[in-house]
Structure 1
Amino acid sequence: MKSKYTINEIKEKLKYINDEDDPFFIEVHQDTRKGVQHVIQLWNKKREQERALKEQFYDMRRYEESLWKEGYQFIGGVDEVGRGPLAGPVIASCVILSEDFFLPGLTDSKKLTKAKREHYYEVIKEHAKAVGVGTASAAEIDKHNIYEATKLAMQRAIENTNVNIDYLLLDAMSLPNTIPQTPLVKGDAKSISIAASSVVAKVTRDHYMTALGREYPEYGFENHMGYGTSDHLTALHKYGIVENEHRLSFTPVKAIIS
């Protein structure tokens, strides 16, 4: 059987169909042309991917859903980025999502492409109940150590939401405050709130390091984001440290300045 539509027409119409019971889909499904069958296979594959992402999203809501049922309304997911680099701040984010927030594909920022992170960042900023970002500088990292500086950045992110948070979900960390909290190992892959905060923190820090790269082009910060790559170490040996940006307490930097 051959339908009255061209393959391109079928491809275009299928973009707007989401139901296998749609009369048009049923009609073209019986079209025996190889090109049409290929288009239908692609449609089915896309639908399956969408189903998988939807299931993943709702699976990652289980902690939030449990807390919402207990009466908590402002659940802050907290995560950080930048503990390992030799330069730049550690940046944390706290994100509070509403029960109707829906963003299939949201997960640990490290698993997302740059384009996806940027897109999700905009969606989260627009639709979250509240978003807070906190920073601890290289100088604070040197003063307190990276672990304590990370907690400092997280606490600032929580405060910068300007919301009375009543529960915290954190990525493998505990904070010394009075807010009830649950640390989750690999939380950015288990909780949508933590995943959202990981995206905000990652994109915020990437923007910071990209701007730093424009200011100090010889270091290539926009490429390595301050991590100890061979190019970064070569630039460090050649040009020395960037004051207030390089972490003097970190061994590769300390070795150069000593």
Structure 2
Amino acid sequence: MTQLTTIKEIVEKLKMAEEAEPWMEELAQDSRAGVKNALARWQRQYDKRKIILQEHMAKIAFDRSFAPFEGALVAGVDEAGRGPLAGPVVTAAVILPQEVPELVGLDDSKNISKTERQRLAEIIRNVAIAYSTHIQSARRIDELNIYAATRESMEQAVKTLETKPAFVIVDAMSLNVDCPTESVIKGDAQSLAVAAASIIAKTTRDAMMDDLHNDFPVYHFGKNAGYGTAEHVEALQEHGPCEHHRTSFEPVKSMIAEGRSGR
């Protein structure tokens, strides 16, 4: 069969195959280099898809392991923006259905491109049983400190969920809410719900920083999202901090002490 089939036709047929099929055994005996390369490429892609699916199922199993009873709703909570010199901390809480094939490949937001994060955020909002976000301003961060402000914001995100969860998994934070919680280090890499919250928090904050860039273009918030890049620090030294900079963070704190400020 294969010797009478062009390489182009074989490539197209392989593109349609989701699982290994008997006719591929015959392909393996084909002496043409183009066929061998096409089959090897399909096998690599297949192996990668299997690993991604296994990771997806492991994240689901991790979330279910915290459910206090069969079918219990488990929320994931995460944040974006604890480290920047400017802008808010944004937290999100997400409750996912038990089966979410649409989210195969979902991972910690830091490991995903901006375009892919935006695509996944739209899917999460469509498939989630419930989700919420909370925005903690730079001023509130300065009032409390970054840890306390992030914790308060996460608690508010959980409290404003339209559907009450039976359990909450939090990325590296202990919360005081009206249901059991578990603080998990690198939770966004282990929990599908926490990874979903990470995506919602990150995309929400990025959109806000893009808006702040329009108002304060000298700081390049659209590129640095408020983080202390060399370009951002140079702009701070030239223009001083603006109202969205965190006065409790260095070098902003020292600049304020020296009487320097921007718009």
For Structure 1 versus Structure 2, the TM-score category normalised by the shorter chain is: over 0.9
| Aligned position for 2:208 | 208
Aligned to 2:132: 132
Instruction: Give the 5 Å matches for 1:136-147.
Output: 136-147=136-147
What letter is aligned with 1:165?
Answer: P
Cα separation, 2, equivalents of 1:123 and 1:45: 27
Letter paired with 2:155: Q
How far residue 49 of structure 1 moved from its aligned partner, in angstroms, is 0.2
Q: Stretches of 4+ moved more than 6 A in 1?
A: none
Between the aligned partners of 2:49 and 2:124, the Cα distance in structure 1 is 19
- 1:27 shift after superposition: 4.4
| Aligned residue type for 1:90 | V
Question: Matches of 2:70 and 2:140 in 1, distance apart?
Answer: 37
Q: Give the root-mean-square deviation of aligned CA atoms.
A: 1.7
Q: Does the CA-based 8 Å contact 2:19-2:46 persist in structure 1?
A: no
2:83 maps to 1:84: yes
Match in the other structure for 1:181 = 181
Structure 2 residue ranges without an equivalent (≥5): 258-263
**Worse-matched range after superposition: 111-120 or 51-60:** 111-120
Q: What percent of counterpart residues are identical?
A: 38
Q: Indicate conservation of the 8 Å contact 1:101/1:128, yes or no.
A: no
CA distance in 2, matches of 1:134, 1:182: 20
Q: Which residue of 1 aligns with 2:106?
A: 106
Is 1:248 the counterpart of 2:250? The answer is no
Q: What is the CA deviation profile of residues 42-80 of structure 1, one whole-angstrom value per residue up to 9, with x for unaligned ones?
A: 100000000111111111222322244723522110001
Residue in structure 1 matched with residue 220 of structure 2 by the alignment: 220
User: Secondary structure of 2:100's partner?
Assistant: coil
**Contact kept in structure 1, 2:171 and 2:187, CA below 8 Å:** yes
Unpaired runs of 5+ residues, structure 1, are none
Q: Secondary structure at the match of 2:93?
A: strand
Q: 1:22 to 1:204 in 2, by over 3 A?
A: farther
Could you give the per-residue CA deviations for residues 229-249 of structure 1, whole angstroms, max 9, x where no partner exists?
111111112122221x11111
* Aligned partner of residue 3 in structure 1, secondary structure: helix
TM-score computed with the length of structure 2 as normaliser: 0.91
Scaled by the length of structure 1, the TM-score of the pair is 0.93
Structure 1 residue matching 2:121: 3-state secondary structure: helix
5 Å-filtered alignment, 1:1-258, equals 2-23=2-23, 25-68=24-67, 70-71=69-70, 73-102=72-101, 103-243=103-243, 245-258=244-257
* Residue deviations 1:121-150 (CA, integer Å, cap 9, x gap): 122111111111111000100111111110
How many matched pairs? 256
CA distance in 2, matches of 1:28, 1:5: 10
1:251 aligned counterpart, secondary structure = coil
Q: CA deviation at 1:94?
A: 0.5
CA distance in 2, matches of 1:215, 1:5: 60
Larger displacement relative to structure 2 (2-11 or 40-49): 2-11
| Distance (Å, rounded) in 2 between the aligned partners of 1:86 and 1:207 | 17
Q: Given that residues 159 and 177 in structure 2 are in contact (C-alpha distance below 8 angstroms), is that contact kept between their aligned partners in structure 1? A: no
State whether residues 72 and 166 of structure 1, in contact with CA within 8 Å, keep that contact through their aligned partners in structure 2.
no
Structure 1 contact 77–193 (Cα < 8 Å) conserved: yes
Write out per-residue CA displacement over residues 191-217 of structure 1, whole angstroms, 9 at most, x where no aligned residue: 111111111111111111122112222
Task: Give how far 1:36 is off.
Answer: 1.1
Quote the offset at 1:158 in angstroms.
Answer: 1.5
Q: Which stretch shows the higher mean deviation, 109-118 or 247-256? A: 109-118
3-state secondary structure, aligned to 1:99: coil
Greater shift, 130-139 or 53-62, is seen at 53-62
